[in-house]
Structure 1
Amino acid sequence: MSYNLIYTPDELREYIKGAGVIAFDFETAPDDAWRDEPKAALDAHKAHIVGISLSVLEGSAIYLPIAHKVGKNVQSRDELMQYLTTAVFENPDVVKVAHNLSFEAMFLYALGIVVCEPCYDTIAAAQLTLKSKFEFRGLSDSGLKLLSTSLFGANMPDFNTVTAGRHFDEMNPAEQETLRYASADSDYTLRLYHKFNGWFAKNLPQHRDIVERVESPTAIYVGMMKYNGVPMNTAAMLERQKEADAKLVALRAEIDEMTGGVDIGANASTSAFKQYLYTDLGLPVLKTTEKHQEAADDATMILLTEYCHENRPELVRLFELVQEYRKWSKLKSTYIDGYLRCVNSATGRIHPDLMPLGTETGRFASRNPNLQNCPRKDNDPIGVRKFIAAPEGKLLISLDFSQIELRVGAFYCRDEKMLDTYRAGGDIHAATTSVIFHVPFSEAVDKNAPHYKEHRTIAKNCNFGVFYGLFPSGLQKTLKFKAGLDMSKEACAGIIDNLKSGYPRLTYWQDETKQRAANTCYAETWLGRRRYIIGILSQDWGKHSFAERCAMNTPIQGTAADILKLAMGRIVAGIKDHPWLKPFLQIHDELVFEIPVDKLDKAVAFVKQCMEVQPFPEFDVPIIAEAAYGESFGELKEMEDV
């Protein structure tokens, strides 16, 4: 190994001279106010960069000590950072490589620096390579130390072993172990870059393109969101917390009065409550768990409510109370208490962990907290989305792809009726209403027409479900538990048949897609993001049919995810010209930003332009991003209403 300390811009310039690919890594430590807080070193609002390592050649690396409290640091930190910004981070002629690029991007963004393409995130590359014949690495399989050990046989001691309880700025950079630890990170990141690219060339060339064009720019966007954080109205949250507590006490008292004080627990699913229902009250078991035990989930409560309407009307009120109790308990525990626990003590905001490869289709996942499941206002008496509120003098804007999965579905199946509807700027849900209920299109779009709301609800559920191989029983359950509509299985089968006959290319595409997956054991997005579906070989009907649905879901949902990520990359590329635009949240097909009040029109125009670009040459369906704005996320006003 050739690991060396560098102290001057001239030495740095000499080391990276002529390099087209540069791997880099940051060591960080908490600011003085946060020295005793666990994990503060990972928070760009509570920590700073202590040192930077770079590698341009395998087995070689340099370390720039910037802010160590022990030993010697670089001569001019500002001059050195300015050179690094120009020569590396914002240099369009250098491939910037980092392991977990969003982390480095976050700390650079805090300094006003935005990493530009070309860039390469080796943690994304790791998750797009196979760890076994049919299984891609997960996030937990993709740590730098683990990969360096398993792929190169490296001896990589962990952080705690090297620092022995100290912060990294308390380490002397001149000590061999400190220098080796810091330098090895960039060295092995560069090795992973070459290793994974070799694997991609041999096995899945499309995945390298996805890493470079899609996932790595997305990682930079994630770093920006992580730094900006979700602005929260904590005063409103605390007020609603008191309201929820009082509501739960009142509901619990009324339930206790009816049950004689049976222990129902936090969400009315205790064994004592089930015994009360099925033994003491003698109610029938209408639904069981996978372990063939009596169920007590929300669907069961709805079924028991319906049973009692017919057979035990005196118990209807009990189940209404239980459902209300569960709803309030969920809202309080997840969306009030849970969100409050995640409020950052330095910023008063929530900075969730957003994982761009958190699902097998390439869609995002979120944790600490999970903001992907933020409730819609039509099922939220507390107003959770109103907790997300702009600071004074700012606005929130949201841009949401309109029916992106259906547009992608139309692109895939090439059904002329679907394509013509979108190309003409039409309403696909109205078109489906017309198809399945045999009514004129003019009646399907008429909000005052008989059964308008019911028909449109059914059409929406059909559109999203039938693309993915929904069975009549599945549509029946969806309509019952999500839309409150009671329809027979036969009626649902008729609706699906009508839809398929109205869109004849849909069935052809589904059959072709399932057959291709059966032949290859995988499904792919248009850009070549692969998902292995071994269950399609199973003789078990349940596993086989689930695999077939995955085969149809993956190209559509995964391609829609790729389209959103490509838009994120375009926003990153233009953010230097719009420094006041603060991305902070992504929920499925929606991007949310904080902006100054006077930048509304300019912000919406820029983001719409980035989102509505034709994502790849073959995509011939118009993409529409619908904009809304407001002072809180729960009270956004559509831009067309301005």
Structure 2
Amino acid sequence: MGYKCVYTLAEIQEYLKNTVLFAFDFETSPRDKWRNDKSAALDAHKADITGISFSVSEGTAIYVPLKHRSGRNAENQAAIWEYLKLLFESKDVIKVAHNLAFESMFLYARGIVLQKPCYDTIAASQLTLKSKWEFRSLADSGLKTLAPALCKAEMTEFSTVTDGRFFDELNPQDEKTICYACADSDYTLRLYHVFNQWFDRFLPKHRTIVEEVESPTSVYVGIMKYNGILVDKSAMLKKQAEAAKKIVSIRNEIAGIIGNVEIGANASTSAFKKYLFVDLGLPVMKTTAKHQEAADDETMILLKEWCATNRPELVRLFELVQEYRKWGKLKSTYIDGYLRFIDEDIGRIHPDLMPLGTETGRFASRNPNMQNCPQKDNDPIGVRKFIIAPAGKVLLSLDFSQIELRVGAFYCRDKRMLETYRTGGDIHAQTTSVIYRIPFEEAADKNAPHYKERRTIAKNCNFGVFYGLFPTGLQRTLKFKAGINPTLAECETIIQNLKSGYPGLAKWQDEVKKRAAVSCYSETWLGRRRYLLGIRSSDWGKKSFAERCALNTPIQGTAADILKLACGRIISGLPERLWLKPMLQIHDELVFELPEDKVDEAVVFIKECMETQPFPAFDVPIVAEASVGRNFGEMKEMED
């Protein structure tokens, strides 16, 4: 192999001379304070870049040692970093990395925002097929896994080279050190070519998604990971104690009704179910997939309703069980769960955000799951208040307004929907007008009879209609999520009126399902594909689920692509705005930390990034709504 160690800026420039494409990889090691923390090498707050490898052609690479504790390191590193900053922020050179989020995080720690064109081979891996109908997962996409499978070469494991040491303890002049570091960038470059050849042959649109959507998003993810989320630990501990006390109080009240029956942490033990269905003889309202008695939240609601007529003395029990579960989830998920991931050295949570964590292309999150953070209009406990701005700064949130509905209107081309959005109208009032066949003015009148209930039903229809709403599903949603109890016949009428009032909708749904039945896949406008083998199943349940996925994917997936394109635009303008710190993404919302006196400037910039026409065909106005506050739970909406 043409691998070598270089020490001067001139040598680096000579190797990278006239290149329009290079792959790179960082070796990192923890600083002295965190040498006992094995995971610290992956944290840009606690580790440094030990060395960088570059590859511009297959079988060649250079390694630049920067912070090794033995042997020789590169000379005049200030000049090297000055050159590298220009290189990584260049808009003329393609930068390729395997796990671009990791590399961009370490660059951002040095004040460098990596720019397009860039390419993340992990993202490319997850958008290529490993079998006829199955895309690779994140677990299938490690460099050491892909190289043998696609490049026919075994790569040396990190542990074999380091033998329990950190990378900065290795001598950079040692052949094994050089070979290990250089192989990472060399095989990343090879994968770049392998994946692009595959894309060009089988799925050209996925190559565009990798280059234009997913790779810039990876940079954005690395920056969010570095910035993290500042939380009010004292408020969380206070709420934790309050929740624990509340749980004990509710449990004692339940015990006063049922005695010493063990209910567990979620009131779903076999002992509790035996008490309900055997000892009390209550009717079985639902069964599980294993044909056992269900005891989920819906069951508790159904039992409470049944008891209101037949056993009124038990109504309080089911109210208490729902309250017990609510406080249990609050404590375990949002208090204990968040507290577990606070970095005590920094005081922040740094969740793992996975931009390809779902089949539609929407983000997923873990450690902790920030995607299930309550919506701003459904946070009665104040979980969002845990997320705060540091002294002298504020939080700024930009949230897409009804982005999936706008995408749905774009797809189905219904004239009434399009007109509503193009004129800045109220889509929920329009849907109320459609399903109840009343004038729009009456539907929009807050003082009109039944306004609140009708609007609630219209909202639930809007958020489910594009995904193949059935009368039973609508009835269940309204009953268990909105507390409204329409009859099945009423739900059938609502859906019938909806389809006749929005004729473009039903036509689009039929076309999508027919296309998916032929091709066995559905895709977003940009071509992000999702295979749906169940759509040809003779099993009605499997086929019905696949049909809903076929309808869901174009809308939810295109909305996800629009958000990611906005992230890419923000990255382009971030080098001149390093005071603007992306820190969180939840659903259709981007959250930032910034100085208070920069809010107006930031809003103008971010709104432009989010509201820009995402692709030429998209002809529905996009609206991003801004709000600002000292904590995430008390954000004040800003006027345009």
Q: TM-score range by the shorter chain?
A: over 0.9
| Residues 305-324 of structure 1 aligned to structure 2 (within 5 Å) | 305-324=304-323
Query: Partner residue of 1:22?
Result: 22
Query: Partner residue of 1:188?
Result: 187
| Residues 121-270 of structure 1 aligned to structure 2 (within 5 Å) | 121-270=120-269
| Residues 377-388 of structure 1 aligned to structure 2 (within 5 Å) | 379-388=378-387
Q: CA deviation at 1:152?
A: 1.5
Tell me which amino acid in the other structure corresponds to 1:147.
L
Distance 1:336 1:69 in 2: 41
Query: Partner residue of 1:567?
Result: 566
Query: Partner residue of 2:300?
Result: 301
What is the DSSP-based 3-state SS (H/G/I as helix, E as strand, rest coil) of the residue aligned with 1:576? coil
Query: Partner residue of 2:83?
Result: 83
Asked if structure 2 preserves the Cα contact closer than 8 Å seen for 1:27 and 1:168, the reply is: yes
Query: Partner residue of 2:37?
Result: 37
What is the DSSP-based 3-state SS (H/G/I as helix, E as strand, rest coil) of the residue aligned with 1:136? coil
What is the DSSP-based 3-state SS (H/G/I as helix, E as strand, rest coil) of the residue aligned with 2:24? strand
Query: Partner residue of 1:504?
Result: 503
Asked if structure 1 preserves the Cα contact closer than 8 Å seen for 2:151 and 2:191, the reply is: no
From the superposition, tell whether residues 401 and 378 of structure 1 become closer, same or farther in structure 2 (CA, over 3 Å).
closer
What is the DSSP-based 3-state SS (H/G/I as helix, E as strand, rest coil) of the residue aligned with 2:557? helix
Distance 2:69 2:142 in 1: 28
Asked if structure 2 preserves the Cα contact closer than 8 Å seen for 1:45 and 1:346, the reply is: no
Query: Partner residue of 2:50?
Result: 50
Distance 1:424 1:300 in 2: 44
Q: CA deviation at 1:165?
A: 1.2
Distance 2:114 2:380 in 1: 42
Q: CA deviation at 1:448?
A: 2.1
1:96 pairs with 2:95: yes
Query: Partner residue of 1:73?
Result: 73
TM-score, normalised relative to structure 1? 0.99
Report the count of equivalent residues.
640
Distance 1:334 1:294 in 2: 26
Distance 1:254 1:393 in 2: 46
Query: Partner residue of 1:2?
Result: 2
Distance 2:583 2:376 in 1: 20
Structural RMSD (CA): 1.0
Q: CA deviation at 1:381?
A: 4.1
Residue-by-residue CA offset, 1:495-535 (whole Å, 9 max, x unaligned):
01100000001111000010000111111111111111111
Q: CA deviation at 1:377?
A: 5.4
| Residues 55-66 of structure 1 aligned to structure 2 (within 5 Å) | 55-66=55-66
Asked if structure 2 preserves the Cα contact closer than 8 Å seen for 1:65 and 1:173, the reply is: yes
Q: CA deviation at 1:466?
A: 1.4
From the superposition, tell whether residues 27 and 155 of structure 1 become closer, same or farther in structure 2 (CA, over 3 Å).
same
Query: Partner residue of 1:556?
Result: 555
Q: CA deviation at 1:445?
A: 1.5
Residue-by-residue CA offset, 1:388-425 (whole Å, 9 max, x unaligned):
11111111111111111111111111110000110001
Q: CA deviation at 1:441?
A: 1.1
Q: CA deviation at 1:70?
A: 1.6
Q: CA deviation at 1:153?
A: 2.2
Query: Partner residue of 2:108?
Result: 109
Tell me which amino acid in the other structure corresponds to 2:255.
D
Distance 1:454 1:144 in 2: 54
Q: CA deviation at 1:439?
A: 1.8
Tell me which amino acid in the other structure corresponds to 1:219.
S
Residue-by-residue CA offset, 1:51-78 (whole Å, 9 max, x unaligned):
1000000111111110011211111222
Query: Partner residue of 1:483?
Result: 482
Residue-by-residue CA offset, 1:239-269 (whole Å, 9 max, x unaligned):
1011011111111111112111111111111
| Residues 433-582 of structure 1 aligned to structure 2 (within 5 Å) | 433-582=432-581
Query: Partner residue of 1:366?
Result: 365
Residue-by-residue CA offset, 1:93-138 (whole Å, 9 max, x unaligned):
1100000101000000010000011000000000000000011011
Residue-by-residue CA offset, 1:178-213 (whole Å, 9 max, x unaligned):
111111110000000000000001000001000000
Distance 2:73 2:576 in 1: 33
Residue-by-residue CA offset, 1:205-237 (whole Å, 9 max, x unaligned):
001000000001111111110111011111100
Residue-by-residue CA offset, 1:438-470 (whole Å, 9 max, x unaligned):
221112122222221211111111112111101
Tell me which amino acid in the other structure corresponds to 2:55.
S
Asked if structure 2 preserves the Cα contact closer than 8 Å seen for 1:377 and 1:383, the reply is: no
Distance 1:13 1:140 in 2: 36
Q: CA deviation at 1:326?
A: 0.4
What is the DSSP-based 3-state SS (H/G/I as helix, E as strand, rest coil) of the residue aligned with 1:323? helix
5+ residue gaps in structure 2? none
Tell me which amino acid in the other structure corresponds to 2:57.
L
Q: CA deviation at 1:380?
A: 4.1
Tell me which amino acid in the other structure corresponds to 1:470.
L
Q: CA deviation at 1:20?
A: 1.0
Asked if structure 2 preserves the Cα contact closer than 8 Å seen for 1:121 and 1:211, the reply is: yes
Q: CA deviation at 1:568?
A: 0.5
| Residues 373-412 of structure 1 aligned to structure 2 (within 5 Å) | 373-376=372-375, 379-412=378-411
What is the DSSP-based 3-state SS (H/G/I as helix, E as strand, rest coil) of the residue aligned with 1:132? coil
Asked if structure 2 preserves the Cα contact closer than 8 Å seen for 1:229 and 1:350, the reply is: yes
1:420 pairs with 2:419: yes
Q: CA deviation at 1:161?
A: 2.3
Asked if structure 1 preserves the Cα contact closer than 8 Å seen for 2:4 and 2:63, the reply is: yes
What is the DSSP-based 3-state SS (H/G/I as helix, E as strand, rest coil) of the residue aligned with 1:207? helix
TM-score, normalised relative to structure 2? 0.99
Tell me which amino acid in the other structure corresponds to 2:518.
N
Asked if structure 2 preserves the Cα contact closer than 8 Å seen for 1:240 and 1:382, the reply is: no
Q: CA deviation at 1:576?
A: 1.4
Q: CA deviation at 1:85?
A: 1.6
Distance 2:445 2:593 in 1: 36
Q: CA deviation at 1:368?
A: 0.4
From the superposition, tell whether residues 370 and 453 of structure 1 become closer, same or farther in structure 2 (CA, over 3 Å).
same
Q: CA deviation at 1:382?
A: 2.8
Identity percentage of aligned residues: 70
Query: Partner residue of 2:272?
Result: 273
Asked if structure 2 preserves the Cα contact closer than 8 Å seen for 1:472 and 1:489, the reply is: yes
Tell me which amino acid in the other structure corresponds to 2:219.
I
Distance 2:379 2:201 in 1: 50
What is the DSSP-based 3-state SS (H/G/I as helix, E as strand, rest coil) of the residue aligned with 1:130? coil
Tell me which amino acid in the other structure corresponds to 1:240.
K
From the superposition, tell whether residues 303 and 38 of structure 1 become closer, same or farther in structure 2 (CA, over 3 Å).
farther
5+ residue gaps in structure 1? none
Tell me which amino acid in the other structure corresponds to 2:615.
F
Distance 1:385 1:454 in 2: 27
What is the DSSP-based 3-state SS (H/G/I as helix, E as strand, rest coil) of the residue aligned with 2:130? strand
Distance 2:493 2:184 in 1: 60
Tell me which amino acid in the other structure corresponds to 2:382.
G
Distance 2:573 2:380 in 1: 39
Residue-by-residue CA offset, 1:329-351 (whole Å, 9 max, x unaligned):
00000100000011112210111
Tell me which amino acid in the other structure corresponds to 1:215.
E
Q: CA deviation at 1:157?
A: 2.4
Distance 2:404 2:376 in 1: 22
Asked if structure 2 preserves the Cα contact closer than 8 Å seen for 1:26 and 1:104, the reply is: yes
Q: CA deviation at 1:376?
A: 3.2
Distance 2:378 2:443 in 1: 26
